[in-house]
Structure 1
């Protein structure tokens, strides 16, 4: 094990704004999401009475968001069974071989399972869109009043209300139909090639590496992946070499996770933390490997999650408000019309005239232009979004986004820039030191494997702030790549000039290590005090002081990385373990 002389650390901030979990604003937002947003409309006794009476006729079911659905349970059990099994058992589970599927078998399975699309986009039928546009509380009220107008021979008024309903429904139907069709056409242009191992030949089977579209991948296929590739389904790893995968599409975390084919998992491990299972929608950051596709299409984990979310779409505050106003309006109309009919009847004793007068009052109380105004405004917003190259499939999304006051996001990478930004470079006393940045830059510059987000942040910080560290004066002689056991990466560099002081030797060799601060601190023997100009052994007091500084930085939302160096020309026995 290498022991290091100096300890430095530097901090990063991810590019996003967030609210801490204890923030009262966030607590109020969460509590507010579970309360009745229509409380502000029920201030009066009469409104409460009408609303309470009418809502008894509504039917609804509560959705238990905490329990898993039957589909999710099947997916969970299937993936856990494959994670616990040996590789040869995994092949038996999916009825495949180490050579892969034959072309004939792959075509057969493609017909059985259908195209491999995680959330199969089904184009809504015209009747479905038409019914969705038509079924609006105010449209129903206007149609009922129109029918009553025709019954009482008030044809002009009834005709006007039907025309308003027709224009409103047509406008919404036209906009949503065009947007849905454009979204489906856009999805047809998305293609993702996948390297698949297939076998050919009747007598002597030959293994072939072919490239197929992601939609044509079936359970039992053996896929080969490298940095940048997307997993075409849920995959049980067969082989892996320094494999690091980004699961930000599922977890929202931009920091990648290590995957290995040798892991043996049990049910106590959270599903997304399984080391030998890779999920559809995630991508390879670094490393290579092969995997056995165990689930595709609607049977994958991501499909089970999103299909559950999509089954029950709760009504938003705008829909609740419109529905509430409709119920109150119906109650007011019934009460007022009944009173007016009774008064008119007992005054003139003419039932037909009294009924006609009551319907006229109901028509006057109804905001006949409201549905048309709402749909026109939403369609105008959708057209404005279309000019910005954004397709709005549902007009209700316009009002949902427009009604937001605060949008809270607690995950990086889903809606944010998905990149880290370096904030500062500090020594072990918490003071800014350019020397720390110099060695961190050299480590990130010379590492040969895939650059991680923090490496990109260091390089970007150096280049954008005008530092000139001249890496051409250094030469790499060896490297110990990053792995998730050591949690650090080390490079060995040579230079003709000593960055620590005067030159007394023809060349100088340094090992520079960067990684998780706690793991870097464990292998450090000395710490440098710049103000005192001395190098002292790391003591318990140093450990306590350094960890206190780190804790303060982490409380500010920063990620801390440690940097340590060792001059390999020195032969201090205490530096070698």
Structure 2
């Protein structure tokens, strides 16, 4: 697949369509799509194929020290020393089995890292909207995207309606990126600065839009990363180098002993056959046949300890290299964290609620002044039960994301924005249900408005919920809930609220304000 261009972000939508010979309304024709699929190839990532179990097992015998031991087995058999031969063989196979089990597990565990590609895409071809497998996407295809969609190829956006994308799999940035359809002037831009480009493997977290495919397969930014993995060479670790060196020294010493013993024996007039067998037996005895097994067992124990800390080690000898590390610098998103947010603190008037839980899991406890309260059963003991329900409802219903439980893994998966996912999990902890409220109207979040509002009808009344930046919501509000009642919002209350906001921000918390009318 050839790289098509590097300056798509500079082009106007019209110039882009002309360059790729496509239409911004009807896309390419089905016939043209078929031609382009043959020309550019399938939209797939080339990954280094995993070794088959048999190849993985026999690769354990490629070590130089193991080869020396195999040579000792052959000599032992030739000399009729069957007990020695079987003992050495047992050690060799034990060593191979231990290494195979560990590396086979690592190979299987890495399969999950190859699932970034989107399974399908909604394309427009010849004016007809179709859902096609992602591997059939071609340059020039017009793709429509909504919240929760995973991007199938690199796109130049031509229509945007409040669209944001999670680019953490590619850039490591945990916060969603706001996208635009406007062309950008700079000829050289970092990935995170190309605001009118959507990348393969990223996810739409808010809004919707449409884009024209500008790169597929290995020409995408994700494909370039995969290409580096395919081309990477596996070298010997320092431990393997030292063991190989030790094996060669042992071979040299053993051969020297054989020659020396043979010469001395012949000089003393001993029988040649007797001296030859003695020299060879001595050489075999000098080889430390238990060394590879001891090394493998030690490394395997180290790997098991690291697995308990969620560290995947693909090759056993890498444990020794990692053991020499004192500091590991890593982009935290997706490596040290899971890019999952969780509501930990809520303020209602002057009252603070703390919330426990684990990411998007809808389980946890609400605590107030050291006491547990249960919002799903009326929040008994809290001074403003109605206010607490309104607070939770505002975050839960003023929300365009979805949390779905994966029946296979039991994990809760988010389709949408991580912040909204945290608010959904908070509402589910209080047993809120989306189907109990009907949405009548919506003003979606935009970078200009910095807020989202919805009009809903539920429980016999109409309410408008709003969420957004704390200072903005505070300036729009005229009243505040305080000790179970509504009071006018005066400067004194505003100053106190901004101090709370500042305190939460200093604790590295993301702060949102919620309101209703």
Q: 1:277 aligns with which of 176, 190, 197?
A: 197
1:200-255 Cα distance to aligned partner (Å, 9 max, x none): xxxxxxx3223321111122222222333222111111212222322233245554
Check 1:553–1:348 CA distance in 2 against 1; reply closer, same or farther (3 A cut): farther
Check 1:367–1:90 CA distance in 2 against 1; reply closer, same or farther (3 A cut): farther
Q: Which residue of 2 aligns with 1:91?
A: 17
Q: How does 1:544-563 map to 2 (within 5 A)?
A: 549-563=500-514
Shift of 1:94: 3.2
Q: How does 1:4-15 map to 2 (within 5 A)?
A: none
Moved more, 556-565 or 307-316: 307-316
SS in 1 for 2:344: strand
For the 8 Å contact 1:195–1:209, the answer to whether it is kept is: yes
Shift of 1:118: 2.2
SS in 2 for 1:421: coil
For the 8 Å contact 1:118–1:297, the answer to whether it is kept is: yes
Q: How does 1:64-213 map to 2 (within 5 A)?
A: 78-79=5-6, 81-98=7-24, 99-120=26-47, 122=49, 132-143=59-70, 145=72, 149=75, 154=79, 156=81, 192-199=119-126, 207-213=127-133
Q: Which residue of 1 aligns with 2:149?
A: 229
Shift of 1:279: 0.9
Quote the Cα distance in structure 2 between the aligned partners of 1:422 and 1:182.
31
SS in 2 for 1:209: strand
Quote the Cα distance in structure 2 between the aligned partners of 1:480 and 1:467.
22
Quote the Cα distance in structure 1 between the aligned partners of 2:228 and 2:265.
60
Q: How does 1:528-547 map to 2 (within 5 A)?
A: 535=488, 537-538=490-491, 543=495
Residues paired across the two proteins, number: 454
Quote the Cα distance in structure 1 between the aligned partners of 2:351 and 2:210.
45
Check 1:165–1:107 CA distance in 2 against 1; reply closer, same or farther (3 A cut): farther
Q: Which runs of 5+ in 1 are unaligned?
A: 1-70, 200-206, 383-391, 498-506, 568-577
TM-score in terms of structure 2 length: 0.66
1:475-505 Cα distance to aligned partner (Å, 9 max, x none): 97754321223322234679999xxxxxxxx
Quote the Cα distance in structure 1 between the aligned partners of 2:17 and 2:144.
16
Quote the Cα distance in structure 1 between the aligned partners of 2:136 and 2:278.
67
Q: Which residue of 2 aligns with 1:300?
A: 220
2:246 paired with 1:328: yes
Q: 1:457 aligns with which of 416, 422, 436?
A: 422
Moved more, 365-374 or 157-166: 157-166
SS in 1 for 2:192: helix
For the 8 Å contact 1:430–1:549, the answer to whether it is kept is: no
Quote the Cα distance in structure 2 between the aligned partners of 1:295 and 1:128.
35
Check 1:181–1:244 CA distance in 2 against 1; reply closer, same or farther (3 A cut): closer
Check 1:535–1:170 CA distance in 2 against 1; reply closer, same or farther (3 A cut): closer
Quote the Cα distance in structure 1 between the aligned partners of 2:453 and 2:56.
60
Quote the Cα distance in structure 2 between the aligned partners of 1:180 and 1:361.
41
Quote the Cα distance in structure 2 between the aligned partners of 1:532 and 1:296.
58
Check 1:496–1:239 CA distance in 2 against 1; reply closer, same or farther (3 A cut): closer
Q: Which residue of 2 aligns with 1:441?
A: 392
For the 8 Å contact 2:138–2:216, the answer to whether it is kept is: yes
Quote the Cα distance in structure 1 between the aligned partners of 2:104 and 2:480.
67
Quote the Cα distance in structure 1 between the aligned partners of 2:50 and 2:489.
70
**Structure with greater contact order relative to length (CA < 8 Å, sep ≥ 6):** 1
SS in 1 for 2:156: strand
Quote the Cα distance in structure 1 between the aligned partners of 2:423 and 2:455.
19
Shift of 1:365: 3.6
For the 8 Å contact 2:178–2:447, the answer to whether it is kept is: yes
